[in-house]
């Protein structure tokens, strides 16, 4: 069983259903199948075979979806590239994956790819004739199993050797089917690809939505106004956003100008979300909200925060509290929160442990890195490095990444708790909380804050605001104000970069 099953089903059952909206371009599933078949033939004629690796560097577009499928049905491994990385980082990834052919958007330079012999520009001159011209008949497809490799996602290329996460056809398929069940996906749904398709925050939806015959709407570059406008214009019913994207949309000056009545569900993934943001979301868009948590190594989902039947009589505030948690285990995953000795923490919403997982969505490991694989997967369980509590209903809530936990004066401070508190202040648009070196306390709690346009707040005001709600040792000892926080390629706040910046500054002051 392979990803061919999902595309073949859509072509067979919904041939005339509109599959793609990409600007002025619109294709049915029959037309999508025609294009994927022609692209698959081209890949074979180019000498690629099962097990070879291809790559793609492109903003969101219908060609991205076509490349995902053309490679998958032939057993060609696809490495989606974070095109925001430096040329040095991209070159290292391509070398590590031994990429044979690269699809690259016409907006990007090819100077980072001198060793790639075959480069196909995603433009009218090179890519379009490949997909548009041909018989549209699928070539003879190889027999693929759940264990055959489908994708290589590189989670790091910033320091040392890049690390490629291996995802099999089985990993991707079980995640997609789980999403269909957990999110009630149907052929009537319209999905907007607003988060980057090179990242699993959104890429999983390519397969889940195709499997049910849903419509794909592509937003090439995220911009809050354009995203809001597209949701209204295309009657989008469901999407996933990184919390920073959602925050930008909620604070966009045009947020009240559009009709969002088509929306039934907004999902966030990639990082925890503040309950105050959830409350604003449900009132602004008038739709359901849930949080999905997972990692690239888990295809990606491990938990979903959708309420259970037993929550049916909860008040609005109680439901928001449930939805703001990391969530209960995803249908395709076995998830535990454990102590250092491997035993389960108490379900008391207080004892902190590490999230570990196993199941059909968990990676086989890291590409050509057995040592890293052995370190991450122990006794069959993948160790996430995320610290969490679990309540009596089985709902997990992340308190921090193990590397982000701050130890100040012997006390553990979880940065997410302080961030949630800061987000309750009406003047705070974005924030990040980190630990910085301190001669007396070991580490001191520091916040970096972006203030909403037209609002104001002083360092003293925000510190006192946190102290009024949390223990005094959890409150920031200092706050810096920036116009914008650095983001990763997927749109998450780049805490590592902030931490390195402030640790370097602190080191210079000490010296």
What predicted TM-score, i.e. pTM, was given to this entire model? 0.84
Check whether residue 351 and residue 490 sit in a common domain: no
Torsion-angle region of 134 (φ positive above 0: left; ψ -120 to 50: alpha; else: beta): left
Rounded Cα gap, residues 51 and 94, in angstroms: 15
Domain containing 501 — which CATH number?
A: 3.30.300.30
**462 by DSSP, 3-state: which?**
helix
Check whether residue 352 and residue 484 sit in a common domain: no
Q: What is the pLDDT of residues 377-435, one digit of tens each?
A: 999 999 999 989 999 999 999 887 777 788 787 677 888 889 989 999 999 999 999 98
Of 401, 422, 440, the last residue of a domain is 401
The pLDDT assigned to 388 comes to 92
The pLDDT assigned to 158 comes to 37
Q: Is the pLDDT of residue 304 over 90?
A: yes
Burial 16-51, CB ≥16 within 10 A → b, else e: ebbbbbbeeeebbbbbbbbbbbbbbbbbeeeebeee
**132 by DSSP, 3-state: which?**
helix
Torsion-angle region of 482 (φ positive above 0: left; ψ -120 to 50: alpha; else: beta): beta
Check whether residue 109 and residue 149 sit in a common domain: yes
The pLDDT assigned to 98 comes to 95
Which residues contact residue 475 at a Cβ distance below 8 angstroms, ignoring those fewer than 6 apart? 418, 445, 463, 466, 467
Closest CA relative to residue 448, chosen from 398, 501, 394, 490: 501
Rounded Cα gap, residues 232 and 503, in angstroms: 44
Of 168, 195, 216, the last residue of a domain is 168
* Average pLDDT rounded to a whole number, residues 278-291: 94
Rounded Cα gap, residues 465 and 463, in angstroms: 5
Q: How confident is the model at residue 108 (pLDDT cuts 50, 70, 90)?
A: confident
Check whether residue 37 and residue 162 sit in a common domain: yes
Q: Is the pLDDT of residue 183 over 50?
A: yes
Helix (H) / strand (E) containing 163: strand 163-168
Q: Is the pLDDT of residue 157 over 50?
A: no
Check whether residue 152 and residue 36 sit in a common domain: yes
Asked, for residue 211, whether it belongs to a domain, the answer is no
**322 by DSSP, 3-state: which?**
helix
Give the total residue count for the chain: 511
Who has greater pLDDT, 472 or 230?
230
Check whether residue 101 and residue 4 sit in a common domain: yes
- Would you state the structure tokens that stand for residue 365, as one six-digit string? 């490991």
- Among 12-21, 111-120, 168-177, name the one with the lowest average pLDDT: 111-120
> In which domain, by residue range, is 349 found?
332-401
Domain containing 355 — which CATH number?
A: 2.30.38.10
Closest CA relative to residue 249, chosen from 276, 288, 284, 274: 284
DSSP string, 193-219: E-S-TTSHHHHHHHHHHHHTT-EEEE-
Share of the chain above pLDDT 70, in %: 96
Beta strands at 163-168 and 334-338: parallel, antiparallel or unpaired: unpaired
Cis-peptide, bond into residue 300, ω within 30° of zero: yes
Which residues contact residue 128 at a Cβ distance below 8 angstroms, ignoring those fewer than 6 apart? none
Contacts 24+ apart (CB under 8 A), 407-416: 407/435, 407/442, 407/443, 408/435, 408/438, 408/441, 408/442, 408/443, 408/444, 408/445, 408/473, 409/441, 409/442, 409/473, 410/442, 411/473, 411/474, 412/352, 413/445, 413/473, 413/474, 414/387, 415/495, 416/272
Q: How confident is the model at residue 14 (pLDDT cuts 50, 70, 90)?
A: very high
* Average pLDDT rounded to a whole number, residues 501-505: 68
Check whether residue 4 and residue 112 sit in a common domain: yes
Check whether residue 504 and residue 475 sit in a common domain: yes
Rounded Cα gap, residues 175 and 169, in angstroms: 10
Q: Is the pLDDT of residue 22 over 90?
A: yes
Q: What is the pLDDT of residues 201-217, one digit of tens each?
A: 899 999 999 999 999 99
Check whether residue 499 and residue 431 sit in a common domain: yes
Closest CA relative to residue 498, chosen from 425, 415, 402: 415
Rounded Cα gap, residues 396 and 352, in angstroms: 10
Burial of 88 (0-12, 13-18, 19+ CB in 10 A): exposed
Which residues contact residue 12 at a Cβ distance below 8 angstroms, ignoring those fewer than 6 apart? none
Check whether residue 355 and residue 502 sit in a common domain: no
Q: Where are the alpha helices (DSSP H) in 46-168?
A: 62-74, 87-97, 127-132
The pLDDT mean for the chain works out to: 91
Asked, for residue 120, whether it belongs to a domain, the answer is yes
Q: Is the pLDDT of residue 236 over 50?
A: yes
Who has greater pLDDT, 317 or 150?
150
Share of the chain above pLDDT 90, in %: 75
Asked, for residue 446, whether it belongs to a domain, the answer is yes
- Among 6-10, 177-181, 278-282, name the one with the lowest average pLDDT: 278-282
Q: How confident is the model at residue 270 (pLDDT cuts 50, 70, 90)?
A: low
| The total number of structural domains that make up the chain | 3
Domain containing 149 — which CATH number?
A: 3.40.50.12780
Contacts 24+ apart (CB under 8 A), 364-367: 364/147, 364/149, 364/166, 364/168, 364/171, 365/166, 366/163, 366/164, 366/165, 366/166, 367/96, 367/97, 367/152, 367/163, 367/164, 367/165, 367/166
Check whether residue 382 and residue 499 sit in a common domain: no
The pLDDT assigned to 497 comes to 81
Q: At what angle do helices 62-74 and 29-45 cross, to 10 degrees?
A: 60
Rounded Cα gap, residues 72 and 52, in angstroms: 11
Rounded Cα gap, residues 235 and 21, in angstroms: 12
Asked, for residue 77, whether it belongs to a domain, the answer is yes
Asked, for residue 302, whether it belongs to a domain, the answer is no
Asked, for residue 323, whether it belongs to a domain, the answer is no
- Would you state the structure tokens that stand for residue 51, as one six-digit string? 């097990």
Of 142, 168, 194, the last residue of a domain is 168
Radius of gyration of the chain (CA): 23
Contact 86, 38 (CB under 8 A): no
Q: What is the pLDDT of residues 309-356, one digit of tens each?
A: 998 899 988 999 899 899 999 999 999 999 999 999 999 999 999 999
Q: How confident is the model at residue 507 (pLDDT cuts 50, 70, 90)?
A: very low
Asked, for residue 59, whether it belongs to a domain, the answer is yes
Asked, for residue 106, whether it belongs to a domain, the answer is yes
The pLDDT assigned to 189 comes to 98
Check whether residue 410 and residue 383 sit in a common domain: no
Rounded Cα gap, residues 120 and 469, in angstroms: 56
């Amino acid at each position: 069983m392979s990803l061919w099953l999902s595309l073949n089903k859509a072509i067979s059952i919904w041939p005339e259903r509109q599959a793609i909206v990409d600007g002025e371009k619109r294709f049915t599933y029959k037309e999508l199948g025609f294009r994927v078949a022609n692209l698959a033939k081209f890949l074979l004629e180019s000498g690629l075979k099962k097990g070879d690796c291809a790559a793609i560097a492109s903003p969101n577009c219908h060609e991205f979806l076509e490349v995902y499928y053309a490679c998958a049905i032939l057993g060609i491994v696809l490495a989606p590239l974070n095109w925001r990385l430096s040329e040095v980082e991209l070159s290292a990834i391509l070398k590590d994956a031994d990429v044979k052919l690269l699809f690259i958007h016409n907006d990007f330079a090819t100077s980072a790819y001198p060793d790639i012999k075959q480069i196909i520009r995603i433009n009218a001159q090179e890519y379009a004739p490949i997909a548009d011209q041909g018989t549209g008949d699928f070539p003879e497809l190889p027999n693929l199993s759940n264990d055959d490799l489908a994708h290589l996602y590189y989670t790091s290329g910033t320091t040392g050797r890049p690390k490629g996460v291996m995802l099999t056809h089985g990993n991707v398929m079980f995640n997609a089917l789980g999403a269909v069940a957990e999110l009630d996906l149907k052929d009537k749904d319209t999905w907007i690809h607003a988060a980057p398709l090179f990242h699993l925050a959104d890429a999983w939806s390519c397969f889940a939505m195709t499997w049910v015959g849903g419509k794909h709407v592509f937003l090439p570059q995220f911009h809050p106004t354009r995203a809001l406008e597209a949701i209204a214009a295309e009657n989008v019913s469901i999407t996933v956003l990184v919390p920073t994207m959602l925050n930008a949309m909620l604070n966009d000056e045009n947020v009240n100008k559009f009709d969002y009545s088509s929306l039934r569900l907004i999902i966030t993934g990639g990082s925890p979300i503040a309950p105050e943001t959830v409350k604003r979301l449900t009132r602004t868009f008038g739709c359901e909200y849930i949080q999905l948590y997972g990692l690239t190594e888990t295809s990606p989902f491990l938990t979903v925060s959708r309420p259970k039947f037993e929550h049916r009589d909860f008040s609005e505030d109680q439901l928001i509290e449930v939805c703001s948690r990391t969530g209960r285990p995803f249908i395709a995953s076995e998830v535990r929160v454990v102590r250092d000795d491997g035993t389960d923490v108490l379900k008391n919403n207080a004892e902190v442990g590490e999230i570990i997982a196993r199941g059909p969505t968990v990676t086989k490991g890291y590409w050509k890195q057995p040592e890293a694989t052995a370190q991450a997967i122990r006794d069959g369980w993948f160790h996430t490095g995320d610290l969490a509590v679990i309540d009596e209903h089985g709902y997990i809530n992340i308190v921090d990444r193990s590397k982000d936990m701050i130890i100040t004066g012997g006390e553990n401070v979880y940065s997410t708790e302080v961030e949630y508190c800061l987000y309750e202040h009406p003047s705070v648009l974005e924030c990040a909380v980190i630990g910085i070196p301190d001669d007396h306390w070991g580490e001191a709690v520091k916040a970096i804050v972006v203030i909403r346009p037209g609002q104001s707040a002083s360092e003293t005001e925000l510190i006192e605001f946190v102290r009024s709600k949390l223990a005094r040792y959890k409150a920031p000892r200092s706050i810096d104000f920036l116009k914008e926080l650095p983001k990763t390629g997927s749109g998450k706040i780049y805490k590592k970069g902030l931490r390195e910046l402030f640790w370097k500054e602190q080191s210079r002051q000490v010296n």
